[in-house]
Structure formats: structure tokens, C-alpha cells
Amino acid sequence: MTYKTAEKKNTLSVREAKACFSEVIRKASSGQDFTVTVHGRPAARISGGGKRTSVFKVNWKWLEGMKPKHLPESATSIIRNDRDARG
């Protein structure tokens, strides 16, 4: 059975699934379900993960307000001052 044949049935052997795994994942993420078989018997199902959602929403206005009023010395100036102090 080739992938083209299996594509119509949405059933793949392990070998077929391995041979075109990226394609199977791409199609699964767009909503198509696949059954993977071992010796002709269903062993696993591959389906999309659903809509991706953010763990939390970022409050950009609040973050912008948290910027320090004055920035500390840059690393370059700290190193230069240390070098100059040592002589």
C-alpha cells in the first residue's frame, strides 16, 4: 500500500507513516486524522492538537511602564572604568 492509497483511507502502516511523517503531521495539524497500523491492526491515532493558545496574555502597556527611569552603566563603561582604576 502506498501513501497515496492510504491517504484516501487515512490509514497508514508504521513504515508508511515513517516514510512521510512530515506530511502526515502537516495534514493532521490541519484537521485530518490518521490511524497507524501494525500488522494490519490499528495501533495508534494521529490527530491535530487543536487550536494553539497562549499560556498567558502579555500586558504590553504594563511592561512598557516598567522600564527603568535611568539605565545603569553599559558593560563597556564598567570595564573601562575598572581598567582605568587599576592604572
At 5-64, the pLDDT tens digits run: 444 578 999 999 999 999 999 998 888 899 999 999 999 999 887 776 667 788 888 888
Per-residue pLDDT, 60: 86
Pairing of strands 41-46, 34-38: antiparallel
Going across the sheet that includes 11-13, the strands are 11-13, 34-38, 41-46
Q: What is the pTM of this model?
A: 0.49
CATH topology for the 3-46 domain: YefM-like fold (3.40.1620)
Enumerate the domain spans of the chain.
3-46
